[in-house]
Structure formats: structure tokens, C-alpha cells
């Protein structure tokens, strides 16, 4: 089993990173997993230039030569893709949105890249997450991935500092449980298709 974790926060060890970690622990408790972490903030990924060359190029290869190809190269083989991002100004972070726009090159072959994958959105926020969950829900029928989400509100009503999710054992348990549940689900499907 392969899991890709797209880390959208610039804060290492923040809320979304921590929840992704607990999700992966749960997944690992159910199955042997190859985990590929992509720290988008540390990668050189240019914004999509809208050239549309991926529509006609061989294998729909993106014309931009940058770190996004590290993700392209492994995406087809992933069983689970974790989109871990805080909400920034009403949507996923710019780091995550830039990578998402570049997924255009993978949108041409839905069967190879999207159908039946488990997508997990881990969204951390103070006020609002609906726009990003709404995005995944809106495209789900077309791309036919399976969608789950973990939502964490870090707002501290008593002061300026957010509550770090590590102080919320219920949320950590939820992430862990969902990881395990999805791991077991994938294993049982694999067993079903064995001859
Ligand atoms: C620049 C910036 C913009 C933000 N904009 C929003 C927002 O629009 N809506 C919201 O609910 N939270 C917003 N937040 C709060 C973060 O989403 C929240 O602190 C989150 O828990 C951080 O997650 P992380 O620890 O994974 O980075 C913003 C935070 C920053 C730094």
C-alpha cells in the first residue's frame, strides 16, 4: 500500500502535520504502507501557466520542469492521498493550491490517477473550512475517488494563540481511527479481487 501525504502548511509540526502523522500511524497499524511525504513549502513548484500542453503532450506530461514531477511520478501508484492543509484566507494554502492546479496534467486520465483512490482532506482552521471540503465534494463524482475529511478548529476563544491539536486527544484519536479504518478497507478490497 502506498500513501502520499501532501503537506500544505508552512508550519512544520503544526496542526495539519500532526493530524497527518496520527492518520498515518492508524494506517500503519492496519497494513504495511510506503509513506511518501511532500513538504510543498520546501519544493520548487511553479504555478500552472495554463499552456494546456498537457492536453496533447505524450502521456499528458506537464511542460514545466520542476519538483512537481516528484509527485507526478508516484501519484498513479498511490492508494491513499492525504491533503493536509490549514485554511488561509478562506481556502487551502497557496502551497496546496499551486500543487492542485498542477494536477491538471493528471486530470486527463481519470482511470489511472483518481478512480477508487482514498482521498483524505485534513483541514485545520479557525473559522471556516467549507470552501475546501466543498471543492473535494464537488469533483468527487467526476473523478470517482473516495473522500473523507478530518476537520480541526484551532481557535482559542481566550487568547491570541491557537490551540495546538496535540492538546486535543479526541481529534488525534479520530485521525488515528480513520487511518486504521481506511487501511483495513483497502486490504479487504485487495483480498476481494484476488483470484
Ligand atoms: C495567513 C493566515 C491566514 C489564515 N486564514 C484563515 C481563514 O481564512 N480561515 C480560517 O478559518 N483560519 C485561517 N487561519 C488560521 C489557520 O487556518 C489555523 O491557525 C490552522 O490551525 C493552522 O494550521 P497549521 O498548524 O497546520 O498551520 C489563517 C492563518 C494564517 C497564518
Distance CA 134, CA 139 (A): 9
Does residue 95 line the site of ligand 1, with CB under 6 A?
A: no
Predicted local confidence at residue 195, as pLDDT: 67
> 57 lies in which domain range?
2-192
Question: Does residue 144 register a pLDDT over 80?
Answer: yes
Distance CA 104, CA 133 (A): 19
Predicted local confidence at residue 157, as pLDDT: 87
Mean pLDDT of the chain: 96
Beta strands in 19-162 (DSSP E): 34-39, 80-88, 91-92, 118-125, 146-153
Distance CA 28, CA 22 (A): 10
Identify the CATH number of the domain in which residue 130 sits.
Answer: 3.40.50.360
List the grid coordinates of 115: 478512480
How far does residue 131's CA lie from ligand 1's centre (Å)?
A: 14
Predicted local confidence at residue 105, as pLDDT: 96
Question: Does residue 91 register a pLDDT over 80?
Answer: yes
- Count how many domains the chain has: 1
Predicted local confidence at residue 96, as pLDDT: 98
List the grid coordinates of 107: 486530470
CB distance 16 to 85 below 8 Å: yes
How far does residue 187's CA lie from ligand 1's centre (Å)?
A: 35
Amino acid at each position: 500500500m502506498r500513501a502520499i501525504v501532501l503537506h500544505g502548511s508552512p508550519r512544520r509540526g503544526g496542526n495539519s502535520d500532526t493530524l497527518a502523522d496520527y492518520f498515518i500511524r492508524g494506517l500503519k497499524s492496519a497494513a504495511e504502507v510506503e509513506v511518501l511525504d511532500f513538504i510543498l513549502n520546501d519544493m520548487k513548484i511553479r504555478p500552472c501557466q495554463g499552456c494546456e500542453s498537457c492536453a496533447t503532450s505524450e502521456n499528458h506530461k506537464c511542460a514545466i520542469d520542476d519538483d512537481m514531477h516528484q509527485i507526478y511520478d508516484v501519484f498513479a501508484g498511490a492508494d491513499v492521498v492525504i491533503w493536509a492543509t490549514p485554511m488561509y484566507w478562506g481556502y487551502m494554502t497557496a502551497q496546496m493550491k499551486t500543487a492542485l492546479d498542477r494536477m491538471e496534467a493528471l486530470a486527463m486520465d481519470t482511470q489511472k490517477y483518481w478512480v477508487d483512490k482514498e482521498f483524505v482532506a485534513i483541514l485545520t482552521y479557525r473559522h471556516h473550512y467549507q470552501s475546501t471540503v466543498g471543492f473535494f465534494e464537488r469533483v468527487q463524482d467526476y473523478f470517482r475517488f473516495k473522500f473523507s475529511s478530518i476537520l480541526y478548529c484551532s481557535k482559542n476563544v481566550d487568547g491570541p494563540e491557537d490551540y495546538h491539536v496535540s492538546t486535543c486527544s479526541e481529534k488525534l484519536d479520530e485521525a488515528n481511527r480513520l487511518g486504521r479504518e481506511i487501511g483495513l478497507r483497502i486490504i479487504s478490497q485487495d483480498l476481494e479481487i484476488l483470484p
